[in-house]
Amino acid sequence: MTVPHAPLERIMRNAGADRLTEDAVEALKEAVDGVADDIAASAVEQAKNEGRTDITIEDIHNASR
């Protein structure tokens, strides 16, 4: 998964950053991608273990804990 650059830059600016380097935005991008991949994989596994093919909001909430 790849999160677009602009929303991550906006998130950092909303958090109070006045200036950003490309490396900082890229590092956040990699971190967000990794977390999102882990949550998605866990949610899919949970649904499969329960015999479901649909991923629910509960699966995502449980996987993100």
- Record the tokens describing residue 3, joined without a space: 């999160």
pLDDT, tens digit (0-9, with 9 covering 90-100), for 28-55: 999 999 999 999 999 999 999 999 999 9
Question: Which H or E element spans position 29?
Answer: helix 22-49
Quote the pLDDT of residue 52.
97
The residue range of the domain holding 31 is 5-63
Give the pLDDT band (50/70/90) at residue 1: low
pTM assigned to the model:
0.81
CATH number for the domain including 42? Answer: 1.10.20.10
Domain count for the chain, please give it.
Answer: 1
Determine the Cα angle at 31 with ends 42 and 53, to 5°.
Answer: 20
